[in-house]
Structure 1
Amino acid sequence: MMNTFVPHRAKELKARFGSFLLKQELNTMGHSQKTDKLMLEDRQNWSFHDLLAHKEGQCAFTTFLSLEYSEENIAFYLACEDYRNTKSSSKLCSKARKIYEEFICSDAPREVNLDHETRAISLKNMEQPTLSCFNLAQSKIYSLMEKDCYPRFLKSAVYQELIT
């Protein structure tokens, strides 16, 4: 008899595994129980901005996006944050090219959902990369996550694990 793997069962296992990994990562951060209780109250009141500003919030949101098969959005956002903090001007060009090829160009392996105009502006900005060359694209993805993904995240099991 052949064992068939039901797709909804796979999603359930992935959700449970993701929650387990999140708990493990949060437990290894070295917080005391008293600190955890204070942080719990803070976590329940986090805005989207707050969520991204905290390591455990980023971890939980990334786990959630992975379950929704849209983790490229947070990966792009974080890559842009890293890019904007680049100190060496000699690295700007290669970092910009890597971000563009991984997330923005039409055949990118982790292509984010951007309109044609934003893609064109990003490509134009690649001619003379500056620290702000991805600001428009990053703000579009931030808004997409805030308005679309974040409300679903707040209703998810991953968020419930974060606040309990």
Structure 2
Amino acid sequence: MKSSEVLARRLTPKLIKTKSLAVTDEEASDLSVTRLSISNSLTSVHKQCEDEDTEATNKLLDIGRVASWAVGFEKLLNDEMGLYVFTEFLKKEFSQENIQFWTECEKLKKFTDLDEVRSKANMIWSTYLHDTDDGSCRINIDSRTRQECYQSLLHKPNAHIFEKAQSQIFQLMKLDSYTRFLKSNMYKECIMSEMEGKSIPYTKPSPPPPTNNEDRSKGNDSLGKIKDEEKKDKKRSPLIPWTKGI
């Protein structure tokens, strides 16, 4: 065999091997790109699934909103829409003063300024606990609790003076009005609307923004009412005489 042929045979495997290695590197590069593309696709799909799951969960929570009112009376009162619908129900039963009193007591608890507490407490007393023309109280609480509230107003006004009266009204509504509410056509309409994906028929309307003229008119009306109340107070004073103790 010629020396040239031997040399060719010796070099040929090395060339083939080198070529084979070059192809392997190219394939590895392509594979890396493919893996990166697949990883990005999986991440995108995973994020999309998470978004869809979150949206579905939110829809389920929203769909069960009205149904949750039947879980407990506290659940109903803690929901702004539930509180509004329940108030509308009590209006039809002519007993809305109970939920209004309870709501005003909740607002009073958030007050910290003593003057504001006194003013708010005085308003609550004169509106819901002061004697009416026939000598009765607007809300149904026992006379002892009412007297305790009065004494607290006179001597130690604070943001929690109506808690006992509020608790009595809460129990009254829970055991009486709330039970009837869950059986009412109003609640059934809300449930059906929710199941059908429709808006709740009893939704709190958004008040239109007042104009400047309306603001002036309301201010004049309020001033007139205050003057009328002052005239009535001279004959019959439902308000607590704070100034006498000063």
- Per the shorter chain, which TM-score range? 0.7 to 0.9
Identity %: 33
Per the TM alignment, residue 153 of structure 1 is displaced from its structure 2 partner at its CA by 0.2
Cα displacement (A) at 1:114: 1.1
Question: Measured at CA, do residues 94 and 54 of structure 1 come closer, stay the same or move farther in structure 2, by a change above 3 Å?
Answer: same
* Pairing partner for 1:40 from 35, 41, 63: 63
What aligned pairs does 1:33-72 form with structure 2 within 5 A after superposition?
35=58, 37-46=60-69, 47-72=72-97
Question: Contact 2:66 / 2:190 at 8 angstroms: preserved in 1?
Answer: yes
Inter-partner Cα distance in structure 1 for 2:59 and 2:100: 27
Q: Which amino acid aligns with 2:127?
A: E
Paired letter, 1:43:
V
CA RMSD of superposed structures (Å): 2.3
After TM superposition, the structure 1 = structure 2 runs for residues 121-140 of structure 1, keeping only pairs within 5 Å, are 121-127=148-154, 128-140=156-168
- Deviation larger for 64-73 or 88-97: 88-97
Counterpart residue number, 1:155: 183
Q: Figure out how many residues of one structure are paired with residues of the other and give that number.
A: 133
Unpaired segments of 5 or more residues in structure 1?
A: 1-31
Give the Å deviation of 1:97.
0.8
Please say which structure displays the higher CA radius of gyration: 2
Structural mapping, 1:7-26, within 5 Å: none
1:85-107 C-alpha deviation (Å, 9 max, x unpaired): 11322211111111001001221
Q: Does the 8 Å contact 1:40/1:163 carry over to 2?
A: no
Return 5+ residue gaps in structure 2 as ranges. Answer: 1-54, 193-246
> Residues 111 and 36 of structure 1: is their aligned pair in 2 closer, same or farther, counting only changes over 3 Å?
farther
- Between the aligned partners of 1:62 and 1:33, the Cα distance in structure 2 is 31
CA, structure 1 residues 139+156, in 2 after alignment: closer, same or farther (shift >3 Å)? same
Give the TM-score taking structure 2 as reference length: 0.50
Q: TM-score, normalised by structure 1?
A: 0.74
* Counterparts in 2 of 1:41 and 1:156: CA distance versus 1, 3 Å: same
Taking CA–CA contacts closer than 8 Å with sequence separation of 6 or more, which of the two structures ends up with the larger relative contact order?
1
Task: Tell me by how many angstroms 1:33 deviates.
Answer: 10
